[in-house]
Chains A and B, each alone.
Chain A
Amino acid sequence: AQTVTQSQPEMSVQEAETVTLSCTYDTSESDYYLFWYKQPPSRQMILVIRQEAYKQQNATENRFSVNFQKAAKSFSLKISDSQLGDAAMYFCAYRRGGADGLTFGKGTHLIIQP
Chain B
Amino acid sequence: DVKVTQSSRYLVKRTGEKVFLECVQDMDHENMFWYRQDPGLGLRLIYFSYDVKMKEKGDIPEGYSVSREKKERFSLILESASTNQTSMYLCASSLWGGGANVLTFGAGSRLTVL
Closest to A98 in B: B98
Is B96 within 8 A of A45, CB to CB? no
* Given A100-B31, A100-B96, A101-B58, A106-B45 contact (CB < 8 Å): no
Cβ distance B71 to chain A, nearest Cβ, rounded Å: 15
CA distance A98 to B96 in the complex (A): 10
Which segment, of A13-21, A46-54, A60-68, A72-80, faces chain B? Answer: A46-54
Is A100 within 8 A of B98, CB to CB? yes
Is B94 within 8 A of A45, CB to CB? no
CA distance A52 to B102 in the complex (A): 12
Residues of A within 8 A of B33 (CB): 101
Number of interface residues of B (CB under 8 A): 28
Residues of A within 8 A of B103 (CB): 37, 47, 102
CA distance A42 to B45 in the complex (A): 20
Is B99 within 8 A of A47, CB to CB? no
Is A44 within 8 A of B106, CB to CB? yes
Residues of A within 8 A of B90 (CB): 45
* Given A44-B107, A46-B105, A104-B98 contact (CB < 8 Å): no
Is A33 within 8 A of B100, CB to CB? yes
B43 at the interface (CB under 8 A from A): yes
Is A52 within 8 A of B107, CB to CB? no
A interface residues (Cβ-Cβ under 8 A, vs B): 6, 9, 33, 35, 37, 43-47, 50, 52, 91, 95-107
